[in-house]
Amino acid sequence: MNSAIRISHARLILLLIFFSSYITWGNNINREDEKSSEILQKSASGWPSYLHDSQRSGVTDENLDRNMTEQWRYYLTQKPTPSWPPPAKSSYWQRLESIKPRVVYDRAFHVVAVNQQIFFGSSSDDQLYCLNANDGKVLWRFFANAPIRFAPSVSKMKVYFGSDDGFVYCLDVENANLIWKHQIAGSNRQIIGNGRMISIQPVRTSVVIDNGILYCCAGIFPSQGVFAVALNSENGELIWREKLNGLSPQGYLLTSPNRLYVPTGRTNPFALDKQSGHYLRSFESSGGSYALLTDNELISGPGNDGSLRISAVQASDHLATFRGNHIVVTPEMSYLHTDTEISALDRVQLLGLRQRQRQLQDQREDLNQYLKSESNQEQAKVIQNQLRNVFRNLEQIKLAISNCIPWKKP
């Protein structure tokens, strides 16, 4: 299975997985090439939502031409306007020499693409754009009443997105005709946010479409009301609305057959029941607005310490922690993106080794405590022998972990 990893650079150049073109700021460039049409024909299933699907896998089974060349660029006159400023440089209280930003979902214009159309929203001019994938020309634009911070989702010839104005919109993909819009939290109150007038309950999550139902959240201040909703994606009718107490949803939503997973940016991600919206549980994390769902695990982060955390979805177990920004998981291999490199790793084997490593580290700590309090010399020697065995096993695991990474690329 081929995989694709989408990385947003400092210049916020968006890499389209179907052909080599990108969106930035300035003057438009178009390069005609027959290869562009060939690649688009091969990409009929498209990339209909952020990172391809509602698990945010970042993986497609389409075969891509490895010799792709740039066909066009689309330039915007305004760069993204993020909802949150950068964090402090360090934290003495948390013992962090540097702090990574956790709420970064709107630092780039994230794109989706279906049927030779490319869609993205703007946090600067409040518009949803639709471009022709063959030449990069604008097919249509649609204005919301506040910034659009997340990539839209496309389903059954309709495109869906939320806005800081508190509404979710459904448009016809061909002509941008408004099919329906729904005010998620039901309040018309507005406040000043990022120098703009926005709803007191802005939509600061993506929308996600699953089996004809649209899920999203609105509100970031618990004292002002935060809600999760399920809507009929055809007509926008409300299926359920659930108030979320003490929670602040921020990020791209994920779904499994029975659950809706919600990142929160600065705190733990949590899960809701898809049938009712009832709160189920949270997952141990150091924050972050990025998440990926596999069959058995939720990977979330990165926290302010720059780490991703793996949690079991059906239990309260925290399985592993590792440095990184994003990860793509395939049956054969996983691919990790950090600040400095991309690496391939045998995630299943690595996860087992990390768990064993953590058990041995806990055992070492316990033995050290026993040794400090043991007055019997013979018993102390037994503990010291046990400690030597633990140290030996930890060294062996360290070597085995290095063998789980077949390659790295800076």
One-letter amino acid of 77 = T
pLDDT of residue 30: 60
Say if residue 15's pLDDT is above 70.
Answer: no
Whole-number mean pLDDT of the chain?
A: 86
3-state SS class at 36: helix
Task: Give mean pLDDT, residues 312-329.
Answer: 84
pLDDT of residue 237: 98
Q: What is the CA radius of gyration of the chain?
A: 23
User: Which residues, at least 6 apart from 357, have a Cβ–Cβ distance to it below 8 Å?
Assistant: 394, 397, 398, 401
More confident residue, 177 or 60: 177
pLDDT tens per residue, range 70-86: 999 999 999 999 998 87
pLDDT tens per residue, range 383-408: 889 999 999 999 999 888 888 888 99
pLDDT of residue 90: 65
CA 318, 285, 211: angle at the middle one, nearest 5?
90
DSSP string, 302-368: --TTSEEEEEETTSS-EEEEEE-SEEEE-SS-EEEE-SS-EEEE-HHHHHHHHHHHHHHHHHHHHHH
**Is pTM, for the whole model, over 0.75?**
yes
More confident residue, 389 or 61: 389
pLDDT-based confidence at residue 109 (cuts at 50, 70, 90): very high
**% of the chain at pLDDT higher than 70:** 86
**Rounded CA gap, 116 and 132, in Å?**
6
pLDDT of residue 94: 62
Q: Which of 33-42, 354-363, 381-390 has the lowest mean pLDDT?
A: 33-42
pLDDT of residue 8: 33
Say if residue 157's pLDDT is above 60.
Answer: yes
DSSP letter at 13 equals P
Q: At what angle do helices 377-402 and 347-373 cross, to 10 degrees?
A: 160
Say if residue 275's pLDDT is above 60.
Answer: yes
pLDDT of residue 37: 37
pLDDT-based confidence at residue 91 (cuts at 50, 70, 90): low
Q: Which of 57-66, 168-177, 358-367 has the lowest mean pLDDT?
A: 57-66
Report the run of H or E that residue 323 belongs to, with start and end: strand 318-323
pLDDT-based confidence at residue 370 (cuts at 50, 70, 90): confident
pLDDT tens per residue, range 164-194: 999 999 999 999 999 999 999 988 999 998 8
Cα–Cα separations (whole angstroms), residue 91 to 94, 181, 267, 305, 308: 5, 43, 17, 10, 19
CA 364, 367, 369: angle at the middle one, nearest 5?
110
pLDDT of residue 373: 87
The pair of three-digit structure tokens given for residue 180, joined into one six-digit string: 């329906």
Q: Which of 10-24, 221-235, 268-282, 293-307 has the lowest mean pLDDT?
A: 10-24
pLDDT of residue 102: 82
Task: Give mean pLDDT, residues 140-155.
Answer: 98
Dihedral (Cα; 48, 49, 55, 56), 10-degree rounding: 120
Task: Give mean pLDDT, residues 254-282.
Answer: 95
